[in-house]
Chains A and B, each alone.
Chain A
Amino acid sequence: MTSPAVTTAPVATATVPDTHTSTKRFALGIFDDEDVLLHAIDNIRAAGVKIYDVFSPYPVHGIDDALGIERSRLPIAAFFYGMCGLAFALWLQIYTLGFDWPMIIGGKPHIALPAFIPVTFELTVFFTCHGMVITFYTISKLYPRFKTPVLDVRSTDDKFVVAIELDEHSSQLPKLTQLLRENGASEVNQKEMTKF
């Protein structure tokens, strides 16, 4: 777990570089304001530095464009799931009442399509919603876990954290510190994460 201890001056880690492949080092630029953050992201990217990720307490509008995150294709998936639900609902009702066990109900035709509209609609919504939500949790690798590694605990409270991945000697750190500071970061920290 992360510790909330904050070091304003970056301290080079004394430990021998971990050979474990999953250990990663990050320079963390801490920002207090979303507009400062967005300007900083533009400038950092313009300087040719690759941003690993940005952590924020709430969805910052415009951050997708600033970071170059592509528009999510979840709506397409949702439409697909909805169509599956629609097809399933129609098949279910037509097959069961029309073919498997046809019964005369109220003198209506076996396949009384207008009467099938409500269930078809509900199942379409059901499939759309649950299919999309399951996809969202799966692709985002969100699942219940006992311990959640966080780079800076304040990123779920009031700080915006820009994480930039470092090499194993943290050689770019002084340069990155300067870049982040110049762009309004209130702090720059270094952080190692074994499993991330």
Chain B
Amino acid sequence: MQYVSPVREPLVTSGKTYHDVTQDICYQVEAAPNIRWMGALGVALVLLGVFFYSVYRTLWYGIGEWGLNKTIGWAWDITNFVWWVGIGHAGTLISAVLLLFRQKWRSSINRAAEAMTIFAVICAAMFPVLHMGRPWLAFYVFPLQNTLGSLWANFNSPLLWDVFAISTYFTVSLVFWYTGLVPDFATIRDRAKGKIAKVSYSLLSMGWTGSAKHWSRYETVSLILAGVSTPLVLSVHTIVSMDFATSVVPGWHTTIFPPYFVAGAIFSGFAMVLTLMLITRVVFKLEDYITLEHIALMNKIMMVTGSIVGVAYITEFFIAWYSQVEYEQYCFINRATGPYWWAYLSMMSCNVLSPQFVWIRRIRYSITMTFILSIIVNIGMWFERFVIIVSSLHRDYLPSSWAMFSPTRIDVGVYVGTIGLFFTLFLLFAKFFPVINMAEVKTILKYTVNDGPTYGGSNDGSRNPSGYHATPAIAPHSTPGVPASAPVNYDKQND
């Protein structure tokens, strides 16, 4: 039993019933694919083709196909890697951190955000693996005694930490996501008409029946997974930042990197969630589940993390000056005024300036403005990684080896290709999997579509769907141990 204040905005609008939720979310799984979806998939598949071509060129002719040179050994590849991993962070943040903070609005966006995490991490993983040059030897990163002798992996290396962090993150996110999907697969299975659909969703649903005992364990598992995922998500980008921070390259050797990278990751992740959600809610007509309130809340998180990132940029500059290290100072002056000034300017304006517009309520609740801002932030965060990586490397201690980086067609192809890979996976997910966690949305329904703890009543009396409620206003069930005289919101305080 929970109590929600009537002044709260409802999390799901239009007075949906449990059955409406099932109907609305299952609709796009059961209906024939629509033209817009097929068109989008077509574009994504073309980009996926670009990806395969670029990967083929990279593998066949080697890393020389990329624009890397002796001075700049990391450029677009690691930029893209960090960008994608960062995007992935919002999914786990929504599903784990917001679960622990009991932010119920997460229910209608967590499924898609988690899917986004998984697909983003798949895209991210492409870059370090391709950068190895010989990806068929990728298993060398694991601590296996290899065929060359009894050498082991170097556990002192942040790049190896990355291997463990990313693989743990990927697999944990995957099982978290899948376990959440199981009850919804069961719903689709029980509604399925066709034989193929029935068998496939039966296989996917693992024989879920919605038994009370199973739900009880499921809740425990979700809570523990959220508990371990929270430090995990923070550790992943911390470790990614250590790829840079543990080196002695000016501009990288910074203790501020871990929190700064984590904030940046959440910032870019929420931007991508917003981009995807704004499209999904329109294409699948989910405006009642992903409301303007959701968009405003995500905008607020974007603004907070964006401001943290802004403070980090300024702190870096200050510390470079304060450290009195000549090389560090030069690196930062060079970032802002050197040949890559345009990248720095894009980063500053997209990441520091643009989220500040969210302070204005009209913009926070505007779909068009939010969409534009989310794209700008995604671009800005890509530039942030580019600035950190390339501008720190391109002028090293020896002026004779100073260089500039220019991407080749293949560099662009691999990057654009991963966007194709991401959208292919996301579109397939959106068609065949329920994009909103039906079971979880149903748990919040009773307390959010109406103005109090009883279902059926409403402000204007029109929300009660006819025939849905046989019994009028029911006294809330009290849990043993709760005193009868407890105030209405007793449970809320102890929830």
Contact surface of A with B, Cβ cutoff 8 Å: 32-36, 38-39, 42, 53-67, 69, 72, 74-75, 78, 82, 92-93, 96-97, 100-101, 103, 105-106, 108, 112, 115-116, 118-119, 121-123, 125-126, 128-130, 132-133, 136-137, 139-151, 153-158, 184, 186
Contact = CB atoms under 8 A, between A and B. Distances in A.
A145 B210 contact: no
Interface stretch (B7-15, B164-172, B359-367): B164-172
A163 to B, nearest CB: 9
15 contacts: A32-B468, A33-B455, A34-B446, A36-B471, A53-B213, A59-B215, A64-B216, A96-B152, A122-B161, A126-B167, A126-B171, A136-B217, A139-B217, A140-B217, A156-B210
Contacts of B212: 53-56, 60, 63-64, 67, 69
A96 B172 contact: no
Q: Which of B189, B215, B229: most chain A CB closer than 10 A?
A: B215
Interface stretch (B80-88, B342-350, B436-444): B436-444
A128 B224 CA distance: 9
Nearest to B166: A122
B222 to A, nearest CB: 9
Given A105-B156, A156-B210, A123 B442 contact: no
B354 to A, nearest CB: 33
Contacts of A58: 183, 215, 439-440, 442-443
Given A55-B209, A119-B160, A125-B172, 16 more contacts: A39-B477, A57-B187, A57-B438, A58-B439, A62-B477, A67-B212, A118-B239, A118-B242, A119-B161, A119-B164, A142-B206, A143-B206, A144-B202, A145-B203, A147-B199, A158-B19
Contact of A118 (B165, B167, B215): B165
Nearest to B21: A158
Contact of B143 (A67, A96, A118, A133): A96
B338 interface: no
B480 interface: yes
Nearest to B211: A53
B221 interface: yes
Nearest to B440: A58
Contacts of B172: 125-126, 129-130
Contacts of B206: 137, 142-145
A60 B164 CA distance: 37
A157 B150 contact: no
A152 to B, nearest CB: 9
A59 B481 CA distance: 20
Given A58-B439, A61-B1, A112-B156, A74 B221 contact: yes
A191 B216 CA distance: 25
Main SS class of interface, B: helix
Contacts of A151: 209
Contacts of B480: 65
Contacts, number: 235
A72 B155 contact: no
B154 A105 contact: yes
B336 to A, nearest CB: 32
Interface of B: 1-2, 17-19, 22, 143, 150-156, 158, 160-161, 164-165, 167-168, 171-172, 175-176, 179, 182-183, 186-187, 189-191, 199, 202-221, 224-225, 228-229, 231-232, 235, 239, 242, 438-440, 442-443, 446, 454-455, 468-471, 474-477, 479-481
B476 A157 contact: no
Nearest to B224: A78
Contact of B477 (A38, A93, A129, A141): A38
B187 A122 contact: no
Contacts of B479: 62, 65
Nearest to A89: B164
A55 B179 CA distance: 18
9 closest A-B pairs by CB: A158-B18, A38-B477, A96-B152, A118-B161, A153-B190, A59-B215, A122-B164, A142-B206, A58-B442
A126 to B, nearest CB: 4
Contacts of B2: 61
Nearest to A147: B202
Contacts of B205: 148
A147 B260 CA distance: 50
A136 B221 contact: yes
A58 B209 CA distance: 11
Contacts of A60: 212, 215
Nearest to A62: B479
Given A128-B228, A130-B171, A74 B220 contact: yes
Contacts of B224: 74-75, 78, 128, 132
Nearest to A32: B470
Contacts of A144: 202-204, 206-207
B474 A97 contact: no
A165 to B, nearest CB: 14
A92 B143 contact: yes
Given A143-B206, A148-B189, A96 B155 contact: yes
A132 B2 CA distance: 28
B273 to A, nearest CB: 23
A126 B168 contact: yes
A73 to B, nearest CB: 9
Nearest to A117: B161
A141 B220 contact: no
A156 B477 contact: no
A105 B160 CA distance: 14
A74 B411 CA distance: 47
